[in-house]
Amino acid sequence: MNKKQGRFIIYGILGAILAIASITYIIMSSTKTLKVGDTAPEFTLSNQNGEPVSLSSYRNKQNVVLFFYPKDETPGCTAEACKFRDEYEAFTDLGAEVIGISGDGESSHKSFADNHRLPYQLLSDSGNKVRKAYGIQNTFFLIPGRTTFVIDKQGVVKHIFNSQFNAEQHIDEALSVLKTM
């Protein structure tokens, strides 16, 4: 390889890096980021039984632990869902309702809930509109993010926990926050 070819390759690599950085910046800056203290975006989605569920139906009644997860029946999501199941009574004792959301359809949620005896509702966000409204980013641009929100009775976000790879910590974080509310 001569000097001219070497420069061409280097400039090509630098151009590709610049293009990726620019695309990443555009994607990140166009997504709204929800912060603690913000009002949680309203939504209505269908649960695993095809029934509509609205966040507003909990307003002035219960705190809500809203957890977004990537996909039904995957190892991390199953571990997270089952730990929410195992601690469900602790959540209800603290006056909170647990709700899971992913892009899977109602029938997938129904099977997942039945297979693992999940006592809470799983909502289908097939177009990822709610996920986007809550500002949840994909991991490595491919895997839907795993984020949990603790929302008080007035609809205000009190805590946000984001960890793709420590799925079970979402439950511990949420319970810890609820104990202070």
Could you give the residue numbers annotated as active site? Answer: 77
Q: Give the H or E element holding residue 66.
A: strand 63-68
Cα 181 from Cα 152, distance rounded (Å): 8
User: 28: how many CB neighbours lie within 10 A of its CB?
Assistant: 10
* Token pair belonging to 157: 């976000």
Cα 67 from Cα 156, distance rounded (Å): 15
Burial of residue 37 (number of CB atoms within 10 Å: 0-12, 13-18, 19+) = exposed
Collapse the DSSP code of 167 into the 3-class scheme (helix H, G, I; strand E, B; otherwise coil) and give the result.
Answer: coil
